[in-house]
């Protein structure tokens, strides 16, 4: 257990350029981290309780260690070094313990279950008394990977707190990060947290939140794409709430109902992601070509495919119409069904065109902002290095 009083960790949200939903079925996804982060503070308590404060979802809970210890017999297998998957029995036990009625689980309660699962699995040898607060710059449930940033910060904090990985603050390094093998362990535990929240996640979201930057992801294979050009995008939040778990389940049902119709669509989405990577690499290599026209066409085709698999929404169609009327191309990002869309900006785009499109989108009740992509993955922070405008939430 770390001796220092309190530890801060943070992890970025993400946008998926191409490959959402198809990546759940082993296809390629291209995803990039955002400069919006989730922050977590963890500190030891001396009152034999575990206190969890989640202001973004209005949850504040506390349990006695003695109560939590009654659950340990069900988590013995988890005490191995290897991250273990939550089973239906684990989730039923945790729902009952947390007082959540079976079947009535809203996505917000899933955060509590994910914490309990990770706490009992990672710290099970000697349950520590602790106080944890998580606050995020990311809108939750909007397709920006808030669940993954949450799972990565919780896994990182618990692994560091229980000395399962090193405490980077002791290394006095410039950027407080972990070694590759420790980041890999963080990512694999965070994936277990995503399984509680998403049901059947691909792992792309927690990979981006852990490693940061732009990466290619396919069936657990993570390929950082440092040598590709940075894209300028506008993020639009339709503010339409939705649950990734429900949307991912819906695609699974449709795929089982129409396999010969849906499988070619998923394969086409895979080809779009591959072609996008090729174009981005040509861009950075200075190979001549109308690269941005191709990138725009890929965005349009993929958006139509995402509608076909059932994860579109009228609000997302509206974003596409408004931006298209300004010569810009957009697609949903993340699980869809509302949430966020991305719009590609050409380097030579007229700033007034972008401003007009953003004003029209705002008039539709959407929230939109230009964003910087490629932020670092999970980081540790000393209290004194935390920005004041973040610290006010802790
Ligand atoms: N800052 C946070 N605090 C607490 N829970 C969070 C936070 N961010 C995300 N979550 C959990 O993740 C859920 C949203 O996950 P999901 O439906 O996958 O949407 P997305 O990952 O696109 O934001 C929330 O309902 C909550 O359970
Ligand atoms: C739809 C999916 O491909 C991405 C989900 O992203 P988000 O939770 O909506 O940010 C699911 C997954 O890859 O786990
Ligand atoms: Mg999610």
pLDDT, tens digit, for every residue of 16-75? 999 999 999 999 999 999 999 999 999 999 899 999 999 999 999 999 999 999 999 988
Mutate to test the pocket of ligand 2, among 198, 242, 341 (most ligand atoms within 8 A of CB): 198
For the chain, the 3-state helix, strand and coil shares in percent, each to the nearest 5, are 45, 20, 30
Q: Active site includes 147?
A: yes
Q: Are 56 and 310 in contact (CB under 8 A)?
A: no
pLDDT, tens digit, for every residue of 123-181? 987 899 999 999 999 999 999 999 999 999 999 999 999 999 998 877 665 667 899 99
Q: Are 148 and 194 in contact (CB under 8 A)?
A: yes
| Closest protein CA for atom 26 of ligand 1 | 108
Q: Where are the domains of the chain?
A: 7-227+376-391, 231-373
Residue 1 has pLDDT above 50, yes or no: no
- Checking phi first, is residue 302 left (phi over 0); if not, alpha (psi -120 to 50) or beta? alpha
pTM higher than the cut 0.90? yes
Please tell me what DSSP assigns to residue 85: P
Measured in Å, residue 332 CA sits from the centre of ligand 1 at: 18
Which among 10, 109, 147, 335 is annotated as catalytic? Answer: 147
Rounded to 5°, angle at Cα 66 from 60 and 70: 100
DSSP 240-271: ----HHHHHHHHHHHHHHSHHHHHHHHHHHHH
CATH number of 231-373: 3.30.70.890
**CB atoms near residue 392 (< 10 Å):** 8
- Residues in a beta bridge with 368: 236
> Percentage of the chain with pLDDT > 90?
80
pLDDT of residue 152: 98
Burial of 154 (0-12, 13-18, 19+ CB in 10 A): buried
Distance CA 101, CA 123 (A): 26
Please name the fold of domain 7-227+376-391. Ribosomal Protein S5; domain 2 (3.30.230)
């Amino acid at each position: 257990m770390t001796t220092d009083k309190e530890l801060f960790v943070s992890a970025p949200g993400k946008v998926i350029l191409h490959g959402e939903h198809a990546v759940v079925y082993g296809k390629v996804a291209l995803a990039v981290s955002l400069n919006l982060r989730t922050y977590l503070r963890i500190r030891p308590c001396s009152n034999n309780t575990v206190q969890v404060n989640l202001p973004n979802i209005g949850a504040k809970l506390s349990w006695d260690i003695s109560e939590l210890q009654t659950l340990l017999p069900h988590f013995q297998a988890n005490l191995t070094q290897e991250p273990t998957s939550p089973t239906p029995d684990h989730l039923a036990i945790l729902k009952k313990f947390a007082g959540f009625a079976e079947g009535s689980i809203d996505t917000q309660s899933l955060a509590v279950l994910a914490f309990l699962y990770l706490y009992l699995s990672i710290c099970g040898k000697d349950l520590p008394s602790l106080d944890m607060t998580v606050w995020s710059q990311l809108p939750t449930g909007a397709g920006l990977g808030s669940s993954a940033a949450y799972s990565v910060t919780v896994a990182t904090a618990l692994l560091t707190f229980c000395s399962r990985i090193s405490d980077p603050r002791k290394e006095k390094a410039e950027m407080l990060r972990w070694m590759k093998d420790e980041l890999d362990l963080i990512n694999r535990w965070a994936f277990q947290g995503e399984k509680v929240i998403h049901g059947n996640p691909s792992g792309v979201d927690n990979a981006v939140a852990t490693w940061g930057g732009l990466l290619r992801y396919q069936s657990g294979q993570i390929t950082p794409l440092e040598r590709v050009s940075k894209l300028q995008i506008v993020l639009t939040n339709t503010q339409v709430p939705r649950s990734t778990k429900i949307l991912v389940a819906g695609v699974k049902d449709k795929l089982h109902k129409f396999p010969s119709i849906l499988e070619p669509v998923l394969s086409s989405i895979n080809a779009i992601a591959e072609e996008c990577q090729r174009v981005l690499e040509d861009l950075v290599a200075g190979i001549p070509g109308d690269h941005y026209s191709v990138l725009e066409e890929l965005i349009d085709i993929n958006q139509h495919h995402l509608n076909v698999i059932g994860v579109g929404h009228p609000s997302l169609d509206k974003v596409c119409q408004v931006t298209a009327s300004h010569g810009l191309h957009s697609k949903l990002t993340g699980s869809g069904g509302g949430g966020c869309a991305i719009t590609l900006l050409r380097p030579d785009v007229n700033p007034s065109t972008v401003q007009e499109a953003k004003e029209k989108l705002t008039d539709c009740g959407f929230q939109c902002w230009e964003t910087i992509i490629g932020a670092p993955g999970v980081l540790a922070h000393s209290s004194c290095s935390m920005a004041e405008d973040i610290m006010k939430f802790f």
